[in-house]
Amino acid sequence: MINDEFKQQLYDYHDKGYLHFDFPISDNEKGQLIANLTREKVITHRFLPFISFEMKFKKYQNNPSKLTNKNRKISLPAHHDALIYKAYSLPLASAYEAYVNRKEISEIAIAYRSKKHMSNITGAKEVEDFICNQDRAWIIKGDFKHFFDNISHDVLKKSVKTVLADDYGKDWEKVLYSLINRKTIKRSDITKNLKLAGIVRPFRHGKQRAYVKNLKQLGYLIKQGNLTPSKKENNNGIPQGTAISAILANVSMIFFDESIRNLVLSKHGLYRRYSDDFVIVIPGDYSLEEVKKLKNTVIEQSERNLGLEIEDSKTKLLEYVRDEKNVQEISPRVRASTEFDYLGFSFDGKNVRLRSKGVYKFVYKGRKAINKLVTIERDRYHIQHGTELVVTKVLKYSRHSSKRWRDRSFAEQERYLKRIERERQDKDSSVYGTVHKQAVQMYLSMEEKMPAKSMLAYAIRAQKIFDSTNHPEYEVKVKQQILHQIRKNQLKLGQSRKLFKN
């Protein structure tokens, strides 16, 4: 199952080094584990509880007033378990590719397909082109509610068995069991309860850390009730974030993807799915009632065959008319011009742009980076001119009134003086250099500086892919959007510099 080809790929696996019940895997240990990895070893392997916690991240909307915090549940597998999940993801991904090719559904799933060299950009372009090749087109866009949390265990096991065929064995049963019947301990409980057990800090092996010194101690702590793993109690859901989660999600959808593909093809349409988002495009030859019936069929099949909910109220039905160069949303009450948002891009019937939410994310992060740069430059300026101690006012901003100067509060003055002192200590300007370099490369340069990270590099890549066939029915304004925002960033930086130099 884990042949030499897959084992060779495993050597590129990098342990993430997070704190868990076992120590991170060193390169030497990794080599030994890979060389000795067999089905029998996996069958007898003891999978450890996942460690769960919630991570806050910013949810970007179209404007600052709608920026909200959102919690995402993270489940971390033990380091040795993570290596096994990675090892088993490789043959499963290979078997999945062979299966979808045989079934002629290889083009359906776009996400998590490294061998297909597919991306959200190529996926979006394919759909936009198909739409614009029609005189009129109906577009159904929806998503599966809480996708990973609601994947049916029965459907998943059946799908994995189907894809692997004769390669499915007891080792695979053990791997799947560890995921669908996983035990979890909250990270906040671990620290608190270990202190009660007399363990006040993690154990160390060189630079590596673990909550316990060995698995025997972990077993003892669980037996004594110091650590209490909670068991997964329902028949749905797999953890996100393990090396095997993404391919399992795709595998769980094989029967649904094939069924919907056949249904849509019978109407000469297109069906594509990116993880939990899907889109169906049907030529405008079909009536609105026929398209509504198709939408309801998709929703019913998802509920009946997958146990996944597609919310009818959140499933959009749109109409594209080429002659009018327009996209309209069809709702029970009214038709209204709108944009078709898909995989980070918006299409209004004549232009393809980056989705406004994605652009605002760039705006927000750019604003923070430039403000940080200006703060350091302003502090350095006052230190050089000996005026740092007389700067007692700050520029206050209110959405409901103009900017105005006011006196610093005592706490603000204390923070300011500490910041000034840190800047004095930065004698080699290493902090300033890092902040300046990041701001320029990511948010201020009109040239592509960081191909793997910058928004401009992404926009240039997207523009190039969309322009590769130069579809006559739409213009691509992706690169233009980001260059426009970079010009605004440059203007903001110049204006901010003038404020503290005058």
Surface-to-core class of residue 334, CB atoms within 10 Å of its CB (0-12 exposed, 13-18 middle, 19+ buried): exposed
Helix (H) or strand (E) holding 499: helix 478-501
Residue 237 identity (one-letter amino acid)? G
Q: Angle at which helices 245-252 and 153-164 pack, to 10 degrees? A: 90
224 and 169 co-located in one domain: yes
Looking at the structure, tell me whether residues 28 and 12 fall in a common domain.
Answer: yes
| 114 located within any domain | no
Q: For 167, phi and psi rounded to 5 degrees?
A: -80, -5
Residues 6+ apart with CB under 8 A from 195: none
* SS3 (DSSP) at 454: coil
Rg value, the chain, Cα: 27
Question: What does the DSSP 8-state code read for residue 176?
Answer: H
Q: Is residue 175 part of a domain?
A: yes
Would you say how long the chain is, in residues?
502
Q: Where are the beta strands (DSSP E) in 17-172?
A: 50-59, 68-76, 136-143
Domain endpoint, select from 298, 317, 350: 350
DSSP letter string, 479-494: HHHHHHHHHHHHHHHH
User: 405 is in which domain, residue-wise?
Assistant: 357-501
Residue 62 CA to residue 272 CA, distance in Å, equals 26
Tell me how far CA of residue 182 lies from CA of 47, 238, 251, 392, 427, in angstroms.
9, 9, 19, 57, 52
**What is the CATH classification number for the domain harbouring 314?**
3.30.70
pLDDT value of residue 431: 87
Does residue 213 lie within any of the structural domains?
A: yes
Q: Which of 147, 158, 224, 149 is CA-nearest to residue 182?
A: 149
Residue 116 located in a structural domain: no
Residue at which a domain ends, from 310, 329, 350:
350
Mean pLDDT of each 10-residue bin along the chain, 502 residues long: 82 93 95 94 97 81 63 92 97 97 96 83 97 98 96 98 97 97 95 94 94 96 94 86 96 98 98 97 97 97 96 92 96 86 96 94 94 91 78 62 72 84 81 92 92 92 94 96 97 90 72
Query: 16 and 66: one domain?
Result: yes
What is the value of pTM for the model shown?
0.90
Q: Tell me, yes or no, whether 81 and 181 share the same domain.
A: yes
The 3-class secondary structure across 349-375, one letter per residue, is CCEEEECHHHHHHHHHHHHHHHHHHHH
Question: How high is the pLDDT of residue 60?
Answer: 64
User: Between the CA of residue 235 and those of 47, 150, 398, what are the distances in Å?
Assistant: 19, 8, 51
Cβ–Cβ under 8 Å, residues 21 and 48: yes
Q: Are residues 395 and 493 in the same domain?
A: yes
What's 150's DSSP letter? G
Backbone phi, psi, residue 402, to 5°: -75, 165
94 lies in the same domain as 25: yes
Residue 112 lies in a domain: no
What secondary structure does DSSP assign to 44-61, as a single string? T--PPPEEEEEEEEEE--
Q: Give ∠ CA 359-354-332 in degrees, rounded to 5.
A: 105
Q: Is 148 left (phi over 0), alpha (psi -120 to 50) or beta?
A: alpha
Taking the C-alpha atoms of residue 500 and residue 494, their distance in angstroms, rounded to an integer, is 11
Identify whether 111 is part of a domain: no
CA dist., res. 455 & res. 442, Å (int): 7
Do 305 and 173 lie in one domain? The reply is: no
Q: 């769980």: which residue's tokens?
A: 252
Residues 140 and 161 in one domain: no
Q: Which residues pair with 136 in a beta bridge?
A: 321
DSSP 410-424: HHHHHHHHHHHHHHH
Alpha-carbon torsion angle 366, 371, 373, 379, nearest 10: 180
- Asked whether residue 84 falls in the same domain as residue 167, the answer is yes
> Is residue 310 located within the same domain as residue 435?
no
DSSP secondary structure letter of residue 340 = E
Domain boundary among 235, 254, 289: 235
| Domain presence at residue 241 | no
Are 369 and 344 in the same domain?
Answer: no
172 & 206 share domain: yes
Number of domains in the chain: 3
